[in-house]
Amino acid sequence: MTYTKIVKPILFKMDPEKAHHLTIKGMKVAHQVPGMLSILRALYRTAPNLSLQQNIAGVTFDNPIGLAAGLDKNAEAVPSFSSLGFGFMEVGTVTPKAQPGNEKPRMFRLPDDKALINRMGFNNVGAEALRQNLSVMKQRNIPIAINLGKNKNTANEHAEEDYVQGLRILYTYGDFFVINISSPNTPDLRHLQFGEALHKLLDAVTKERDKLQAESKDHKKPIFVKIAPDVNASELKEILQVICLYDIAGMVVSNTTIARNNVTHSHASETGGLSGYPLKNTSTTLIRDVYKITEGKLPIIGSGGIFTGEDAYEKIRAGASLVEIYTALIYEGPKLISKLNKQLSSLLERDGFHHISEAIGVDVE
């Protein structure tokens, strides 16, 4: 109530990117105030529910609701976000070198459509600075995924070098990693999803991960690949054929879309990636296709248009083991996280499932 009645109206009067930075700054300050994390946990976290707990690729998740990449790009407020009731969160996208991103304005709200458009362009402080931000954390309450990208000025022919460098710098600090080759806001990035470019990238990244694992004597960190929602059926099969040749733990389905289906707001003409409710059905269909093609053997993190427990449940029944939110958090506030978990529990019980794993992919023929 406080968010929707007080905080949201104030933030929505501001430029979207300024509101974003103010939110991150506020969350960063919050975890520096003694006792504030305990207050956040008391306000927003729900009691652990065994029916929602899972172990995927060696990582334990207390619940399936995650925070998608893009909100805490530089891992500045991880302790605070970790206290809101998420089952996991992504930080980044991070590139080896710091970069300013695209020209402003580059973020737009579409309230009538419950959507956002962004063309940020991987603006971030760089891998070394993000490493420093994560290194000062005394403890982590939830799994942290690090979303890796390439610098804008790095040619696709050398893209694997950026991903390998990012992995090398940050390997100690991530519980798992997401290879982002699907943002529409870095020129030609999406070309890395196909053919020899994808082979070259995954070969380099998995070899580096194995090397780092051997050197650290740590357990093998899972790697997920994040794909675009705008691929066609033949492109999807091509992507999955390559991915299944490598030791990839799972997929994130999906990134933002360049399509503008069922979008009515005047900002619809802005270039960039669309997120939020208009992406819901597209991402769910893609999840179902990935699950079917891989015969359910490749865990999926579903992302795109989740505003209710029913939305999340649809993606789980389509094949997602975990789901992520971002845009809905902007519109609904942090109470949404516990709401989604409670609704999911009720939906599982309604359908006679004792554990979330029983519902994964049940709608796929």
Q: Give SS3 for 314.
A: helix
Please give the order of strands across the beta sheet that includes 273-276: 107-110, 115-118, 273-276
- Determine how β-strand 107-110 pairs with β-strand 115-118: antiparallel
Q: Whats the size of the chain, residue-wise?
A: 365
Q: How far is 120 from 107, CA to CA, in rounded Å? A: 7
Largest CA distance in the chain: 54
Query: Cα angle vertex 166, ends 73, 143, to 5°?
Result: 55
Q: How far is 46 from 314, CA to CA, in rounded Å? A: 22
Is 345 annotated as catalytic?
A: no
- Which member of 182, 183, 321, 345 is catalytic? 183
Contact by Cβ (8 Å): 333, 7? yes
What residues does 323 pair with on adjacent strands? 65, 302
What is the set of active-site residues? 183
